Chain A
Amino acid sequence: MELLTQVRWSPYLVGVVIGMLSWATFLISKQPLACSTTFAKLIGMIEMGFTGKKAELKPYYQKLKLVVDWQMMLVLGIIIGALFSALLSGDFRWQWVPSTWENSFGGDPLLRILVALAGGIILGFGARWANGCTSGHGISGTLQLAVSSWISAVCFFIGGIVAANLIFRIIV
Chain B
Amino acid sequence: METKTLEKKEIKTRSPLLWGLGFGIVFGFLLQKGGATNYDVIIGQLLLTDFTVVKIMLSAVLTGMIGIHAMKSLGWVRLNPKSGSAGMNIIGGLIFGIGFAVLGYCPGTIAGAVGNGYLDATVGGLAGILIGSGLFAALYPRLSQGILKMGDFGDLTLPRLFKVKDWVVVIPVAALIILLLYLLERSGL
Binding site for B on A (CB under 8 A): 6, 8-9, 11-12, 14-33, 35-36, 38-40, 42-44, 46-47, 58-61, 68-86, 89, 91-101, 109, 112-165, 167-169
What are some 22 contacts across the A-B interface (CB < 8 A)? Answer: A11-B53, A11-B59, A15-B58, A21-B26, A29-B20, A69-B17, A76-B21, A78-B108, A116-B104, A118-B128, A120-B130, A120-B132, A124-B99, A124-B135, A129-B143, A131-B89, A133-B106, A133-B108, A148-B83, A151-B93, A152-B93, A158-B94
Task: Report if B5 contacts A (CB, 8 A).
Answer: no
Is B188 in contact with chain A by the CB < 8 A criterion? no
Bound: A154/B39 CA distance, A = 20
Check B133–A78 contact: CB distance below 8 A: no
Q: Which residues of A contact B121 (CB under 8 A)?
A: 116
**B157 touches which one: A91, A118, A146 (CB < 8 A)?**
A146
In the docked arrangement, what's the CA distance between A39 and B132, Å? 9
Query: Interface of B with A (CB < 8 Å)?
Result: 10-11, 14-40, 43-44, 46-48, 52-53, 55-65, 67-68, 71, 76-86, 88-121, 123-138, 140-141, 143-144, 148, 153, 155-159, 161, 166, 169-170, 173, 181
Bound form: Cα–Cα A79–B116 in Å: 8
Picked from B38, B39, B101, B109, the residue with its CB within 8 Å of the CB of A134 is B109
B30 in contact with A18 (CB, 8 Å): yes
Q: A91-B116, A129-B95 are in contact. Are A32 and B84 (CB under 8 A)?
A: no
Which of B79, B92, B129 interacts with A131 by CB under 8 Å?
B92
B93–A159 contact, CB under 8 A? yes
CB distance from A144 to the nearest CB of B (A): 5
Contact residues of B: prevailing secondary structure: helix
**Chain A residues whose CB sits within 8 angstroms of the CB of B88 once the complex forms:** 129-131, 148
The listed residue (A89, A126, A146) touching B98 by CB distance below 8 A is: A126
Bound-complex Cα distance A65 to B10 (A)? 17
**Residue pair B68, A144 in contact (C-beta under 8 Å):** yes
Residues B102 and A29 in contact, CB atoms below 8 Å apart: no
Known: A30-B78, A69-B20, A77-B24. 16 other contacts (CB 8 A): A12-B55, A12-B181, A15-B56, A19-B60, A39-B130, A70-B20, A73-B24, A80-B21, A81-B27, A81-B29, A117-B125, A131-B92, A134-B100, A147-B156, A147-B157, A168-B47
